[in-house]
C-alpha cells in the first residue's frame, strides 16, 4: 500500500544516496553507507508504486525507479512471480539488494580453474528487510530466485551504474559466458 509518505520515502533515499556518492569514493564505505540507507527504505512497505510491483507471467520484472543523471547509480525494483529465478549472472559494478516483500534465495558462484563455475557456499535466504551486496570485490556471480512458489516477492536493488545499460554476462554451470545488456521492463499499461 502506498501513502503520501511513500512519495517522499523514495526521493529522500535517492537524495541521501546521491549525497553519499558525492562524499565517498571507497567502494566498501559506499556499500556500507548505502546498504544502511537501503535497510531503512525496505523496512517500510508503503512507498513502492503499484506500477513497479507487478510480476510478469513469463519471467521476473526489473523496473527502473531512478537513474542518476550522472549515471553513478540506479535504483530498480525486481518483482518475482511465484518460483521465478534469474540465470547465473554477474553485475560488473557494486550492487545492493534489499528485500521489500517476501523472500529470495541467492546462490553465489565462483570459478574453479579457468572455466567451471561451482557454488560459492550454501544458498542464502534473504527475508523481508535483509540487505545483501554484490561486487567484483566481494562476489559478483550469482543466481537469485523467489523463495516462494505461491506468491510474489519484491526486492529493491541499488547499483553503482545505470545497470540497465551495463554490458554483463550470463553463465552456464560449465562456465560458458554470453554477454547481455538487461535494459528495464516496461511498466504495465
Domain membership of residue 8 (yes or no) is no
C-alpha cell at 67: 537513474
Domains: count for the chain? 1
- What is the pLDDT tens value at each position of the chain, 189 positions in all? 344 456 699 999 999 999 999 998 899 999 999 999 999 999 999 999 999 999 999 999 999 999 999 999 999 999 999 999 999 999 999 999 999 999 999 999 998 887 789 999 999 999 999 999 999 999 999 999 999 999 999 999 999 999 999 999 999 878 899 999 999 999 987
Whether 25 is in a domain gets the answer no
Tell me, what's the pLDDT at 6?
A: 60
Q: Assign residue 71 a region: left if phi > 0, alpha if psi is -120 to 50, beta otherwise?
A: left
Cβ atoms of residues 128 and 103 within 8 Å: yes
Give the Cβ contact number of residue 141 at 10 Å: 20
DSSP string, the chain: ---HHHHHHHHHHHHHHHHHHHH---HHHHHHHHHHHHHHHHT--S-S-GGGSPPPSSS-EEEEEEE-TTSS-EEEEEEE-TT-BPPEE--SS-EEEEEEESEEEEEEEEEETTTEEEE-SS-EEEETT-EEEEBTTTB-EEEEEES-SSS-EEEEEEESS-GGGSEEEEE-TT--EEEEE---PPPP-
> Are residues 47 and 56 in contact, defined by beta-carbon separation less than 8 angstroms?
no
Which tens digit of pLDDT belongs to each residue from 38-56? Answer: 999 999 999 999 999 999 9
Other CB atoms within 10 Å distance of the CB of residue 170 = 17
**9 found inside a domain:** no
Report if residue 20 sits inside a domain.
no
Residue 138's CATH number = 2.60.120.10
Residue 79, domain extent = 50-181
In a domain, 29, yes or no: no
Q: Given this model, what pLDDT does residue 54 score?
A: 96
Angle (CA) 72-88-162 rounded to 5° is 15
Residue 123 domain-assigned (yes or no) = yes
Amino acid at each position: 500500500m502506498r501513502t503520501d509518505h511513500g512519495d517522499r520515502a523514495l526521493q529522500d533515499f535517492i537524495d541521501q544516496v546521491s549525497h553519499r556518492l558525492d562524499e565517498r569514493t571507497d567502494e566498501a564505505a559506499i556499500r556500507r553507507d548505502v546498504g544502511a540507507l537501503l535497510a531503512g527504505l525496505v523496512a517500510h512497505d508503503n512507498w513502492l508504486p503499484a506500477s513497479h510491483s507487478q510480476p510478469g507471467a513469463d519471467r521476473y520484472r526489473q523496473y527502473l525507479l531512478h537513474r542518476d543523471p550522472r549515471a553513478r547509480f540506479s535504483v530498480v525494483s525486481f518483482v518475482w512471480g511465484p518460483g521465478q529465478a534469474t540465470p547465473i549472472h554477474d553485475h560488473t559494478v557494486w550492487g545492493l539488494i534489499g528485500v521489500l516483500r517476501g523472500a529470495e534465495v541467492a546462490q553465489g558462484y565462483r570459478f574453479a580453474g579457468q572455466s567451471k563455475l561451482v557454488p560459492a557456499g550454501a544458498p542464502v535466504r534473504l527475508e523481508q528487510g535483509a540487505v545483501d551486496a554484490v561486487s567484483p570485490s566481494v562476489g559478483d556471480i550469482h543466481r537469485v530466485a523467489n523463495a516462494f512458489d505461491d506468491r510474489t516477492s519484491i526486492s529493491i536493488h541499488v547499483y553503482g551504474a545505470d545497470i540497465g545499460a551495463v554490458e554483463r554476462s550470463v553463465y552456464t554451470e560449465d562456465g560458458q559466458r554470453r554477454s547481455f545488456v538487461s535494459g528495464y521492463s516496461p511498466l504495465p499499461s
